[in-house]
Amino acid sequence: MLSLEDIRTKLGKYNQSHVLQFWEELAPEAQTNFLSQLSDINFDDVSNLFNRALGSLSEETKKLDTLMEPIPPDQFEYEKGVDEDKLEEYRKKGLKAISKSRVAVLLLAGGQGTRLGVPYPKGMCPISLPSGKTLFQIQAERIRSVVRLAKKETGSTGRVCWYIMTSQATHDATAKFLEGHKYFGLNEDDVVLFQQGLLPSFSYDGRIILDRKDSISLAPDGNGGIYLALRKNNILQDMERRGVKYVHVHSVDNILVKVADPVFIGYCVMKGADCGNKVVRKEVPTEPVGVVCQVDGRFQVVEYSEITDQTANLRDDEGNLIFRAGNICNHFFTTGFLKLISENYEDQLKLHVARKKVPFVNEKGERVTPSSPNGIKIEKFIFDVFQFSKNFVTWEVPRHTEFSPVKNSESAENDCPSTARRDLLKLHKLYIQDAGGTVTCDEVEISPLVSYAGENLVERVYGKVFDGRTVISAEEEVVPNGF
């Protein structure tokens, strides 16, 4: 920890001396904690970030229509357009990699759940399923399930390490929750939590905002903070020690995510990709979702605001939207690519800047919650590394089988717990019907420990009728017991 004099010098150098304006009013313990917080900040980097952010903020949103090209056919495949033999080849390739412990999962779980309206991390949200399971439990059990599938296919039991990137706001609660539930059957040694970084919030004139007299306003650096966090927390070294070659990265809020999806992994491996992106087809041209495409020959996600209506509505000869590859934060990376980005390109990532209402301490020492935006928060996005890929591929999947996020409170009526629950149970209904069962209600849930993606259900459901709230579970189920 730096001394008070060292901190004063650094703050003075960057015109941030106001941060210590209430220093003399603080109790000794508060002074020590504040010095610790300030000592963790690299003010050289912070100053450079703000200057870059200011440039981004002043730029008008540019339309990229004339620079955009769709993904080349040889770097794009649609699951429904691939024949069964090829799909099985991809699946076996992915299961083989899993059986050799070459695959890890990296969960993005830094979101506090503000939009969702819950006072705990999103992964702890139960969604009111018949089983009472949370997102964390569902995803942990999918890892266990795919490891079993790999063993059944190859005879070898692999280990899939579950890396979880938290934030300061979610770390302790997540760690306590997982430990309290015995990691939902996963080996404790194969669950590794690490925190993403934090960045100060700034006023429009570049002054760091004081959140309280004894602390500055900090916010997570976005899911693009993963690359710096991997390096700072020695996660890449841990992956190397475990022999991990491929990493499946996804956000915590997608209830339908196929964790460590062997088909997606196998596709990327067989294509020799260093970076892959799973997408869903945009439902309508005006859907406000980023699309994956090429810009000036480099792959990137283009936001809806960067495209004119005319380009958004372009269609091919078959009537499909030309720019339809909707980004869903579901990625494949080789560990070599992650190392390359973390060591050589992290500081070149685009900054995404947003005007926000940032609570602050005024000159009288009073904490104020503003009614209009008064500052900026800076983030980096995980997909902004696509441009550095040497062999980028895209895998399109049906939305109804793989994407239903939990982002909003029920009042939004979309991307909320009730829609996620509806979509999961609707998918499970299809699984049961495909296996010869009949479902006459919308309250039948299948445990991931019974079936990963609809397989192994015939003996459990064939010829049976499910007409009430039911959970098709495995013998070793962990019963949820709250927080």
Please state, in angstroms and rounded to a whole number, the distance separating the CA atoms of residues 86 and 390: 24
The top-scoring range by mean pLDDT among 96-100, 125-129, 412-416 is 96-100
What's the CATH fold of domain 62-413? Spore Coat Polysaccharide Biosynthesis Protein SpsA; Chain A (3.90.550)
Q: Is the pTM of this model over 0.95?
A: no
Residue 451, Cβ density class (10 Å: 0-12 exposed, 13-18 middle, ≥19 buried): buried
- Mean pLDDT for all residues in the chain: 93
Q: What DSSP letter does each residue of 421-476 carry, written as one string?
A: HHHHHHHHHHHHHHTT-EE-SS-EEE-TTT-SSS-S-HHHHTT-EE-S-EEE--TT
Question: How many whole angstroms from its chain centre is CA 313?
Answer: 28
Domain ranges of the chain: 62-413
Model pLDDT for residues 330-371, shown as the tens digit of each residue: 999 999 999 999 999 998 898 888 888 999 999 999 999 999
Percentage of residues in the chain having pLDDT higher than 70? 97
Residue 236: the pLDDT is 98
Please state, in angstroms and rounded to a whole number, the distance separating the CA atoms of residues 97 and 427: 27
Structure tokens at 31: 């002074």
Residue 190: the pLDDT is 98
Model pLDDT for residues 224-283, shown as the tens digit of each residue: 999 999 999 999 999 999 999 999 999 999 999 999 999 999 999 999 999 999 999 998
Count the residues in the chain: 483
